[in-house]
Amino acid sequence: MASDVVCGATRSLASSLIPLRGQHQQSAAPCADELRASSFLHHSFRSTALVSQGVAARGRAAPRVRCVAEPIQKEAVRTRVKRNVNLGKLQAGYLFPEIARRRNAHLAQNPDARIISLGIGDTTEPIPKVIAEAMEAAARGLSTLEGYSGYGAEQGQGALRGALASTFYKGLGVKDSEIFVSDGAKCDISRLQLMFGPALSVAVQDPSYPAYVDSSVMLGQTGEYDTGVQQYRNIVYMPCTPQNNFFPDLSATPRTDVIFFCSPNNPTGNTASRAQLEELVAFARKNGSIIVYDSAYAIYVEDDSPKSIYEIPGAREVAIETGSFSKYAGFTGVRLGWTVVPDELQYEDGFPVIRDFNRVMCTCFNGASNIAQAGGLACLSPEGLAAMQELVAFYKENTRMLRATFTELGFSTYGGVNAPYVWVQFPGRSSWDVFEEILTKADIVTTPGSGFGPGGEGFVRASAFGHRKNIVEAIDRLKKLYGK
């Protein structure tokens, strides 16, 4: 890795300095290299704090190394802690912060650009009043003796667990006690991974939401990144392309312990049919695998595709399901989701998975915000459900408009019926190139398909979350950019 930055040390601290390895240990004048190293690390070394905290006063003078370029004394100590090798395997930044970085860079160069985001999939419309009012009341209540609550159950409030079971899992046999309320599906994915541990093998749809793969890498379930195929070793990537109607060829898919499966899918916007999910469940049962079914967009389903994996007979013994209020009620900032772990789901040794997940939730989590939970409960009231449906219908109209536009412009366009995402093909082109083209020429942020895995190369994802006037304007700009 990069060299360290050492320019000087006072005598008092020098005695406790860890010897530095590498070139600087012997160097008497490392300043030039140091500055480069510092720049490489994007890491400005700060000695002033130490000085101001009295270190200098306790033992100044006799610096070991004198700098010409920088008169201020510098001191550095590295720990002897080895970096987690699994974090070292991760490539670049997490996708969405990287998009934000490029967006901001574009804005810095073009301060007048009126950027429209069809990118990260962030909700834009206000939370329905009936739901916001419930959170308002909960917040107000916290300042009263009657309304105050402290630590809740790590698994969530009983009323909310019950309402989730009776609303989204009615008739599917999901018990309140099998539902764990959380601060979001993404957070639950990493808690599930923490539960699974480093020894398990994992399969993902390709392309897929990056949190599955990245958390898998972090936990040590994978090998190194293979830049040739742009995949991590020891992950099974299940190609989901127009050729296979976005459903993996399971006959050619090796067994893994865990299968992450998202439907309606992020990013492709496609939805698995009942027959396909029956095939998936049968595959998991045959292989003794655990499906982690991400149903974060289930409410967008308008045809008879299943909204829950538990609609499929036999799923309770092989599937975990995670869900979220983010795209249902605009809770992306409020943070509320849930995960279902059925009692029947067992490890090889017969131990119930739910007990381990409960332990993880109790040890690594402290419950979702009580205010957010009050909002979740309001979402599931008759008025809340109606309001959510109205909100979803609004985004779905955006989706329809975007899909029609890309189709009209001659692109092969997928998804966008049961999901708020349109998946647009740019044959033979790099996703990041198209991303840059749309960003720089139309001031529109999309998401490059390759950010979701190599199977997304040649696509961009357009998210339909946006104010209507922005969607309309984005459509105008896209027509200017790509119209004949």
Side-chain-facing half-sphere of 149: CA atoms under 13 Å: 17
Binding flag, residue 484, a copy of itself (CB under 8 A): no
Query: Count residues contacting a copy of itself (CB under 8 A)?
Result: 138
Interstrand relation of 258-262 and 225-226 (parallel, antiparallel or unpaired): unpaired
CA distance linking residue 236 with residue 201, whole number of Å: 8
Cβ proximity of 59 and 85 under 8 Å = no
Considering only residues 94 to 123 of the shown chain, the ones binding a copy of itself according to CB under 8 A are 94, 96-97, 120, 122-123
Cα 42–Cα 44–Cα 46 angle in degrees, nearest 5: 160
Binding flag, residue 139, a copy of itself (CB under 8 A): yes
- In this complex, which beta carbon is closest to a copy of itself, that of residue 97 or of residue 410? 97
Considering only residues 144 to 163 of the shown chain, the ones binding a copy of itself according to CB under 8 A are 144-145, 147-152, 154
CA distance linking residue 43 with residue 5, whole number of Å: 10
- In this complex, which beta carbon is closest to a copy of itself, that of residue 305 or of residue 405? 305
User: Tokens 């749309």 belong to which residue?
Assistant: 438
Cβ proximity of 140 and 344 under 8 Å = no
Cα-based torsion angle of the residue sequence 424, 429, 434, 436 in order, rounded to the nearest 10 degrees: 160
Considering only residues 175 to 214 of the shown chain, the ones binding a copy of itself according to CB under 8 A are 183-184, 186-187, 189-190, 194-200, 210-211, 214
Beta-strand ranges (E) seen in 341-484 are 413-415, 421-425, 444-445, 447-448, 459-463
Q: For residue 61, which of 111, 11, 1 has the smallest C-alpha distance?
A: 11
Select the residue interacting with a copy of itself from 275, 364, 393, 481 (CB under 8 A): 364
Binding flag, residue 440, a copy of itself (CB under 8 A): no
CA distance linking residue 164 with residue 379, whole number of Å: 10
Q: What is the pattern of x (binds a copy of itself, CB under 8 A) and - over residues 386-425?
A: ----------------------------------------
CB of 3 to a copy of itself, least distance (A): 7
CB of 62 to a copy of itself, least distance (A): 17
- In this complex, which beta carbon is closest to a copy of itself, that of residue 345 or of residue 392? 345
Select the residue interacting with a copy of itself from 11, 101, 286, 468 (CB under 8 A): 286
CA distance linking residue 177 with residue 68, whole number of Å: 67
Binding flag, residue 124, a copy of itself (CB under 8 A): yes
Binding flag, residue 91, a copy of itself (CB under 8 A): no
CB of 259 to a copy of itself, least distance (A): 11
CB of 245 to a copy of itself, least distance (A): 24
Binding flag, residue 78, a copy of itself (CB under 8 A): yes
CA distance linking residue 71 with residue 300, whole number of Å: 62
Binding flag, residue 82, a copy of itself (CB under 8 A): yes
Binding flag, residue 294, a copy of itself (CB under 8 A): no
- In this complex, which beta carbon is closest to a copy of itself, that of residue 125 or of residue 383? 125
Residue 22, C-beta contacts closer than 8 angstroms, at least 6 positions apart: 3, 4
Which 3 state secondary structure label does DSSP give 324? Answer: strand
Structure tokens at 25: 């240990």
Considering only residues 44 to 73 of the shown chain, the ones binding a copy of itself according to CB under 8 A are 44-46, 48-50, 52-55, 58
CB of 481 to a copy of itself, least distance (A): 26
- In this complex, which beta carbon is closest to a copy of itself, that of residue 84 or of residue 245? 84
Binding flag, residue 135, a copy of itself (CB under 8 A): yes
- In this complex, which beta carbon is closest to a copy of itself, that of residue 83 or of residue 484? 83
Select the residue interacting with a copy of itself from 359, 441, 468, 480 (CB under 8 A): 359
Side-chain-facing half-sphere of 51: CA atoms under 13 Å: 13
- In this complex, which beta carbon is closest to a copy of itself, that of residue 128 or of residue 456? 128
Select the residue interacting with a copy of itself from 162, 239, 314, 454 (CB under 8 A): 314
Beta partners for residue 291, in sequence order:
259, 319
CB of 82 to a copy of itself, least distance (A): 5
* Residue range at the interface with a copy of itself (CB under 8 A); choices 107-115, 167-175, 227-235, 424-432: 167-175
Residue 343, C-beta contacts closer than 8 angstroms, at least 6 positions apart: 175, 178, 316, 352, 354
- In this complex, which beta carbon is closest to a copy of itself, that of residue 130 or of residue 404? 130
CB of 47 to a copy of itself, least distance (A): 9
First to last CA, the chain: 50
Q: What is the pattern of x (binds a copy of itself, CB under 8 A) and - over residues 322-351?
A: --------x-xxxx-------xxxxxxxxx
Considering only residues 248 to 267 of the shown chain, the ones binding a copy of itself according to CB under 8 A are 257-258
CA distance linking residue 148 with residue 305, whole number of Å: 42
Distances (CA, A) of 229 to 82, 224, 264, 439: 29, 12, 26, 27
